[in-house]
Each structure stands twice: as C-alpha cells, then as structure tokens.
Structure 1
C-alpha cells in the first residue's frame, strides 16, 4: 500500500513575513504560534514526523494544519467558526434587559439609587422579562455595549451668562495676554484660592511604614485635633507658591495672603499683578476688586466664571497637596499640619515647573458650541409641533 506523501508547502514573501512574526510572537495565542511554526518547518522541507518531534505535537496535528494551509493559505490557520450552545435568551429579551439597565430605578418604582447586576437579574425575573437569569449573565449582556449602571459621574451645567467672556479672559492670561495685548516682563499672573477643612487626625496607633509584601498601614481610629484652612497663591508662569494657614477662611485671611505676596519683589514693583480667583465669599464681586485695588494699585482681580474653579490653576497644586501631604492624614496637632504644609511648599518651589495647561481658547469655542447645540435640541423637544421659536443663547442656560 503506497504511503501518502506530505503536502508541498510554498510560501509567498508576504506569508513568509507574517508567519515569521507570528512564530516568534509573545502576545499571540499559543495555538497560533505552533501552527505558524509547523507551516514554516514544512516550507523548509521537514517531514511530518520531524516537524511533530520539533514542535512536540502529534503527527496528525501536523498533517491537519499542513493540509489546511495548502488548501486555504494563511486564513486556513484560523479557528473555524463554531456554533456553540444555542442562546438561552432571545434578542428581544436581551434588548429589554439593556433597556431596563438604562433607566433610573426610581422610574420603575424600585427603591434603589442605581442598579447592580444582582438587582437587575432579580428585577428582570420579577417583571417576567426572563424566567431565570444570573447576575453574571446580566454582566455579560451589559458588557457587550459597555453599559455600567452601577457607576455614576457628577456634572454641573454652565449657568454663568458671561461664561465665555470670563473664561476667555483667564485663558488669555495663562497665555500671557490681556485685552488683546501681550503682557510685559514686569507683569505677573497669580492664581489663588483656599483649601478648607484640613484636619489633624491623630491615629490611635502609629502608622506603619511599608515592608516586604506589605503596604503602608494606617489605623482606622483617630482623635480629631481640629481643622485649618490653607490659602495659596500660585505664580502661573514662575511656578512659585506662596501660602498662609488660618483657622478659617474670610476676607482677612485672604488679604493676609495678598499682603505676603504683594510686599515681595518682583510683585511689589511690578507694573501689574493679575489675581485669578473664583467666586468664593472671601473675594467675590466688585467689592473685593475695589478692596484689592485700594490696598495695592498694581493688583488686578480677575474672576473665573461661576462654578468653574477648574479654570483656576491653583486647584492643580491643591490636588498635589492632597495626594502628597494630606493623605493619609496622621497628624498629632494643627501645628504639625502647618509645619508639614510649609515644608512641602519649600520642597515644591525648589523643583516646580509651570503646569502644561491644555485647555485652549479653541477648546472653549468647542465647549460653547456643544452647549448651544444641546440647548437647541432641548428646545426642539419641548416646543409643540408647528410653533416657531428662536434659538436660545448662553444667557438662558439652565
């Protein structure tokens, strides 16, 4: 009986390059790597027996994939599509589960603030959408469309009628421009705000440093040692921080910080020093502008839009303080908190560089355009059919 001859394998330059990359890949599936190596050995003239020994597989495996490549080429090395077990849930049932997940529980009279997979499974059964379903199946159904009803994100709608004007003024200052004119070398931009309620929490047991296979350990129980406010002024272009600690916020603590900055050089003799502040009670409105200008004629107060303190660069510095100084909070007294903040200020100023501010006037224009489209869409939904209406501007933002 004649012995069947092995299929002849001849590689094209493209297939040879792809098979080589796959054969030496560390990220591809192991089965795909073995199949690529089998075909490369076959193209080099090795017998099926020799290939089986080299790749440590059965000789029938070599015959199978050698034949598949000879008949179908490189696509033949992929797995065949398998039918698998028939789906237990119809497309309509799957769509109904997804639709329920995209509704607030309160809309369905369910006493929950947000859904979890077990809650959705229980509600789907209770409403008769499916006879039975597990939480893991719900999770797989939602994962197909990246639906995560157990997560939430806070947001706030812009309601300052002069948002674009105020935000543009702040962004221009960051780009060293004011009223269309570039700032001079003797003009500075200072971003200022308060970080309130920094507590002194004295842990009942000492904090343990990290060890081998062990992270830092902080005792959960603590005694309160009071709280203080941390006021900071950040020179946007010089990356220099000035700070002041106070028992509480207010006009006097803020003006104390201003005094600390404006009595130092180069700010004392500067042509203008722009103070970017939010709308907190310590520096709100025209009264705060007049108070600052009266005390320091070369100081110019610039307010960020309402509820837009994210435009204030000092908030970035406060986030650094929160991560590197305040958390985890383990201080024996407020004096220790103040000493740590002061020491960190000196440490930060020694190596600080200006922040890479990425929100540009072009980004602001895109934001305003999206808001206007959103307002227009809402008005179209609320307007009765057949009625004429005028598009609303930013001044009518809800």
Structure 2
C-alpha cells in the first residue's frame, strides 16, 4: 500500500528546546494548553505520525498539524497564543489614572462621603461597568470602611509580654485562668415562634422580640484544659466579682497558684478586692492593657457562647436564660476545647509597630 498524504517535514529539536518542552509538558495545574502543545511537538520529534499523536493525546489531527507547523516555522515562540484582532481600546491609561486619582483624592460634588460606581461614571463620562472593573482591578472599595483602635496604656508593652508569656509558657504548679464578665446578657423572647429549617430554606425568626431582663455571666477559662468556671449574678459590681473570686477559690485545687488574666475594669481594682487578694496569696492578677480585651482568651470563649447558644435562643425569663446557659457550660466542660495561643509578644508588637508606621506615614 502506498503512502497516503504529503510527506511531513522533519522536526528536529536542539537539546535546549527539548529541555524546555519537557518542562512545559510536566505542568499539571497551570498553562495546560501550553503543556499539551509541548507534548504534541515532543511526540512528533520522536518520529510518531500525526495520526498516532492524535490518538494518543486525544486531539484532532488538524490540531497536531497546526502545532507541528507552528513549531517548525517559529520554534518555541510559535507555541504561544497569537494576538487576536479586536476593537481598539476605548479606555486609555490616562482614563484609568484619572478614575483612580478621583476616587482616592476627591469627594463627590453633591456632598456624599464617598463615590459610587454610578456617581463616578456620571462625573467621568464613562460607563458604570468600566468604573466597576477599574475598581476591582486596583482593589478600591469606597463603600467599605475599617475601624481601628490602639491602646494608650503607657505599660502596653510590658503587659503584652506578661500576658502572652503566661499563655506560651505557663508557670509550673499553677493554673492560668482568663477571667471576665459578659454583662447585660438579655433574656429575649421572639414575638412569634421560630420556624424550623427546611430544604432550601434557613431557620426563620421574627426581628421583633420581648425583653424579660438581663443577667451577667462571670467566667474563668482554664488556658490549658479549656474548662470554664462560670457563675451568674444579676448585678455587675465589685461585690459580685468578689463572690466569683471565692467561687474560683473553691473550685480549684488548693495547692496550686492561680494566675488570673483580667481587664482594667474598675470593679477589679477596688480596695475590697485588693484586700481580699492580699489575704489569698495564691492569687496573682495580670491585667491586660487598656483597650486590649482581645488579649484575654476568655473573650474567644464568649464568642463561642454567643454564636452557638445566645444568638438564636429564646427565653421567657432571666432564670430560664441562666439555666439554659448553665446547661450549655456543663456540656462544654464535659468535652472542653482549649484555645491555643500562637503569636509571641514580639510578633504582636512588630505587627502593631508596622501598622502604626503605616497610618502615620504622611503619604498614606
């Protein structure tokens, strides 16, 4: 049987070309189109016919012919996609620069605090879609605002090192307890029954509620085990905090020292509290810096309580709320999960220093 079709031109590779093509062909996640073209050329260079290459790589014969020809004509550069003709660019670099500058440096003339895509499009004489694309490309979000707060505590650095040191290297023969109060917990009852979750429909509850009173939850989180000592009190004074200290004293092994991490709330520093602490030398109080409650791990536990219990619950009385929370705390303590602190004091201070430098930069 005679040979069918025209004779194919020889495809020979240099050592550098083969190494480059083999590198492209090994790609598994990126540039898959280029990897396929490289495998086609390598197979053809090994003397495999176009039809066999087509069957092996599961591509059409015209595709094999195309990339074989492109490589012979332009070598490695021929495997890249050619630029395609299209409409001329309507938005120039000058237009993009003007949009960015206006967004960052000017306010809308109508008194708004920030631009919207519609208002800026009208001011620039461009389409709303074009403004939106430019904003997305440069990460501009005028509708969003972030808040920040820095501690003004003159002992901030020392307190951070003290508290973080307790988390990362707890003292021997001692418990580290993060102590705080979740004050003004509301006993709320919805004005209509909550509707259960159904396929394609989330749980539904009314926006309106009836308030039946408030209570405060005092909690002490054991940093090592994750267990919590908790007690409810209807008021939030130093008398209640003193009662909770006595509760901690009764519910912890007497032979262990207790290191308490607390915030700077006034009820934690009254003369009565100081006198009681002097009479109980196993208690050592470590205060977090002012406006730095994020440093107290019990706040993370309060977030779990809010998300998993309080946010969706309904209670007809304060007593019902307290009993419900006590049951939840008991279930938590049956299988406690500690929160692992990973950042060193130097990591925290370096991050804050970089942020302070950024917000104080005149060019910011």
Return the TM-score normalized by structure 1: 0.76
Query: How far has the Cα of 1:141 moved from its partner?
Result: 0.8
- Rounded to whole Å, the distance in 2 between the matches of 1:69 and 1:5 is 17
- Rounded to whole Å, the distance in 2 between the matches of 1:315 and 1:299 is 21
1:234 corresponds to which residue? 221
After superposition, the C-alpha distances for 1:17-67 in whole angstroms (9 at most, x for unaligned) are: 632x45xx5x55775576456446645655445666777766544322221
CA 1:211/1:368 → structure 2, altered by over 3 Å: closer, same or farther? closer
Matches within 5 A, 1:1-398: 4-9=6-11, 12=18, 15-16=21-22, 18-19=24-25, 21=26, 25=28, 27=29, 35=37, 38-39=40-41, 42-43=44-45, 45=47, 47-48=49-50, 59-82=61-84, 84-103=86-105, 105=107, 110-122=110-122, 125=123, 130=124, 132-176=125-169, 183-185=171-173, 187-266=174-253, 268-270=254-256, 272-283=257-268, 285=269, 287=271, 290-294=274-278, 296-367=280-351, 369-370=353-354, 373=357
- Rounded to whole Å, the distance in 2 between the matches of 1:334 and 1:7 is 89
- Specify the SS of the correspondent of 2:228: strand
- Rounded to whole Å, the distance in 1 between the matches of 2:326 and 2:144 is 38
- Count residues with an aligned counterpart: 356
CA 1:264/1:3 → structure 2, altered by over 3 Å: closer, same or farther? closer
After superposition, the C-alpha distances for 1:256-311 in whole angstroms (9 at most, x for unaligned) are: 22221112231x443x322211122322x464751441463322222111101111
- Rounded to whole Å, the distance in 1 between the matches of 2:270 and 2:238 is 14
- Specify the SS of the correspondent of 1:102: helix
- Specify the SS of the correspondent of 1:212: coil
CA 1:47/1:364 → structure 2, altered by over 3 Å: closer, same or farther? closer
Query: How far has the Cα of 1:317 moved from its partner?
Result: 0.8
1:393 corresponds to which residue? none
Whether the 8 Å contact between 1:6 and 1:48 is mirrored in structure 2 is: no
- Rounded to whole Å, the distance in 1 between the matches of 2:220 and 2:303 is 14
- Rounded to whole Å, the distance in 1 between the matches of 2:106 and 2:330 is 49
- Rounded to whole Å, the distance in 1 between the matches of 2:263 and 2:130 is 48
- Specify the SS of the correspondent of 2:212: strand
Q: CA RMSD in A?
A: 3.4
Query: How far has the Cα of 1:312 moved from its partner?
Result: 0.7
- Specify the SS of the correspondent of 1:80: coil
- Rounded to whole Å, the distance in 1 between the matches of 2:276 and 2:109 is 54
Whether the 8 Å contact between 2:260 and 2:286 is mirrored in structure 1 is: yes
CA 1:206/1:34 → structure 2, altered by over 3 Å: closer, same or farther? farther
- Rounded to whole Å, the distance in 1 between the matches of 2:312 and 2:114 is 30
Query: How far has the Cα of 1:319 moved from its partner?
Result: 1.4
CA 1:375/1:120 → structure 2, altered by over 3 Å: closer, same or farther? closer
CA 1:112/1:210 → structure 2, altered by over 3 Å: closer, same or farther? same
